[in-house]
Structures are given as C-alpha cells and as structure tokens.
Structure 1
Amino acid sequence: MFREMRRKNQLLPDAVSREILERNTSGVLSLMGDEGYPYGVPLSYVLVGDKIFFHCAKEGHKVDAIRREEKASFCVIDQDKVISEEYTTYFRSVIAFGRAHILESDEEKMQAIRILAGKYSGEQGEEAIDREIGKHFANLCMIQFNIEHLTGKEAIELVRMKQK
C-alpha cells in the first residue's frame, strides 16, 4: 500500500525513526485542505507508541480537514546542515503516514493533553499543569494520529560517515 523508499541505503532503521520522533518537538502535519489544496501546518506533538497527539482549537482549517479526510502525514526534520562547498545538505528526517481523528470524550482528551503537557512543562509540577489545562480545557481539541507507516531517511553523506 505504501511506496518503498527508492534509495534504500539511506533508510533509517525503525528504532532510529522513532527516536527522532521522541526527541523532537515540532513537525508538519499535512492534510487535504479546502478545495483539494494540500494543507501543511507546523505543530508541537508527543509520540506515545504508534500514536502522535496534537492540540488545537475546536474550530478551524485543521479540524475541518480532519473531519473531511482522516488520511494524513506528519514530517519531522531532525537535521538539515547546509554544506555549501558540496552544494547539498546533510539531512535526516522522518515521515509518518496514518489517520488522524478528533478525540471526542473528555476522558480521552484529558489523558492526551496531560501527556502532551508533560513533554513541554519542564520543571512545572502537576499542580501547575492542572491549572493550565483547566484554563483552556473547554476550548481544547485533541487530535490523535495513528501511525500506519513510518520511514526515516538521511543524506548519503551521513550513511557513508557511519561506514568509515
């Protein structure tokens, strides 16, 4: 169902792709937007197993697009170093394909936002997190993206460096 990567020697192992998703804090969710135009939106996220969670407002382009078509992709760039003398970049990135849906129950939303807040709250205690969530929960929408296919790729130059 999903295409194989053409340059298989640049394919990252699944564990490395997941590590990249766990380590990073933002990526681009791509959806089928209005009038059939692609809609890519940068978002903060958290990975839990084969699920990625995002938060947003209850209304807007993102929510409308997901309600219309659940198929989506999510891309994270882990590295992108310009090497001007080689006219290239030493890149490493991951793309996940799957289906996104809106969490409807308050229990699911609360569980997901707590996990997301835990990633971004630093040294804040649970009490501070609960206060912040409480301020915004009524207007909060949580999106769950179920990963169906995951690939990571890195520049051939990075592959060659590992082989030395």
Structure 2
Amino acid sequence: MQYRMKKFQLTSEQIDALLHRTETGSFATINEDGYPYSVGMHFIYSNNKIYLHGLPKGQKIDNIKRNSKVCFEVNELIGLLIESDDNPCDTNAEYNSVVIIGDASLVEDLNCKREVLNKIVEKYTPQFAGKELPDNMIKGTAVIEIDIVECTGKYYKQSKR
C-alpha cells in the first residue's frame, strides 16, 4: 500500500459522500489487446454499486462483454498548496479520491434500468425529475452496473503547523 494510503485514508462515510457529490469519474476497461481503455463518465452511486449509462454499442461495451474486470476512479481537487514563491517543487495538491475495482455487467431488467436512469436524471437534471422516461429510450440506453470488489479512498491536506 502506498505511504499516503496508510496515513491519509478516507473513512467509509467520506467515501460515500465523495461518490454522491462528484459529477464525473473515469471508467476503465480492458481492450481486446490487453491495454486499458479509460473514459470519463457521469454516474450514480446507489446500493453500494456504481451505475453508468451510455450508448448500447461501442468500445467500453465490447470490453465489458469480453472482460468484466474494471476500475472506476473519482477525484476532487480542493486546491493547490504553494509553500514558496520561488520553487515550483514546493507545490502540492489538496484532494480527495476514490479508486474502485469491480466487475461490470450490463443491466437488462427494464425496471432496474428505469430506476437507475431516473436517479441519473435526479442527479444531473433535477428540473426533469419525476417525468416519465419513454420505454424506447430506456430500451435503447445501456446501463452498466459495477459490483464493487475493492474500494479505497485517500486524501491529502496540509497539516496545521
């Protein structure tokens, strides 16, 4: 484990709060050639799972079908910590971050997809919350569910002197 992980771990409550307030995360899958493929995505955190949505075809969908092992990461830059005016090496960052390792699958159940998509609407476009989502849109949208296998959170902030 990294030194900072030992000293600067987020609590489970802090991890939950960060996953609920963060707007986007990086979703990484494994390509056919074995290289990682990462893309920024909107998401929700619900029932101890990460849910993403998008087009039902494409590289990330193909990758999930081939290999369900994925990584999802969110981070929050709070600010830069500049200790001196003359040395850029004396700059650090105050941040929070979460890294999730898990298994991804495509949600097929229409009721589950509807529930997830409604939560996504609530998070990103609350002015449309409660409006009926058309069945054809639900059927035509991929919903990805990440079952969390491992979740770690870390932070860094300047210590009081």
Please say whether Structure 1 and Structure 2 have the same fold, judged by a TM-score greater than 0.5: yes
Kindly indicate whether the alpha-carbon contact (under 8 Å) linking 1:5 and 1:11 is maintained by their aligned counterparts in 2.
no
TM-superposed deviation, 1:147: 1.3
Normalised TM-score (structure 2)? 0.85
What residue is the counterpart of 2:72 in the other structure?
A: 74
Kindly indicate whether the alpha-carbon contact (under 8 Å) linking 1:10 and 1:159 is maintained by their aligned counterparts in 2.
no
Q: Number of residue pairs matched?
A: 154
Kindly indicate whether the alpha-carbon contact (under 8 Å) linking 2:107 and 2:145 is maintained by their aligned counterparts in 1.
yes
Kindly indicate whether the alpha-carbon contact (under 8 Å) linking 1:11 and 1:152 is maintained by their aligned counterparts in 2.
yes
Provide the C-alpha distance between the structure 1 equivalents of 2:17 and 2:40, rounded to a whole number of angstroms: 19
TM-superposed deviation, 1:89: 1.7
Kindly indicate whether the alpha-carbon contact (under 8 Å) linking 1:27 and 1:45 is maintained by their aligned counterparts in 2.
yes
Letter in 1 for 2:126: G
Q: Does 1:94 align with 2:98?
A: yes
**Range with bigger deviation, 115-124 or 61-70:** 115-124
Q: Does 1:27 align with 2:21?
A: no
| 1:2-61, Cα deviation, whole Å (9 max, x unpaired) | xx4443111111110111001111000111123111011100000012111110111000
| 1:62-117, Cα deviation, whole Å (9 max, x unpaired) | 10011111111111011252334422222221111111100112222122211222
Identity within the alignment, % = 23
Q: 1:106 aligns with which of 107, 110, 113?
A: 110
Describe the SS at the equivalent of 1:126: coil
What residue is the counterpart of 1:120 in the other structure?
A: 124
Once the two structures are superposed, the pairs formed by residues 128-139 of structure 1 within 5 Å of their partners are 130-131=132-133, 133-134=134-135, 136-139=137-140
Provide the C-alpha distance between the structure 2 equivalents of 1:37 and 1:81, rounded to a whole number of angstroms: 32
Describe the SS at the equivalent of 1:36: coil
Q: 2:16 aligns with which of 18, 42, 45?
A: 18
The structure richer in helix per residue is 1
What residue is the counterpart of 2:147 in the other structure?
A: 146
Q: Does 1:54 align with 2:52?
A: yes
Provide the C-alpha distance between the structure 1 equivalents of 2:61 and 2:50, rounded to a whole number of angstroms: 16
| 1:96-139, Cα deviation, whole Å (9 max, x unpaired) | 11111001122221222112222112222422xx25x5562232
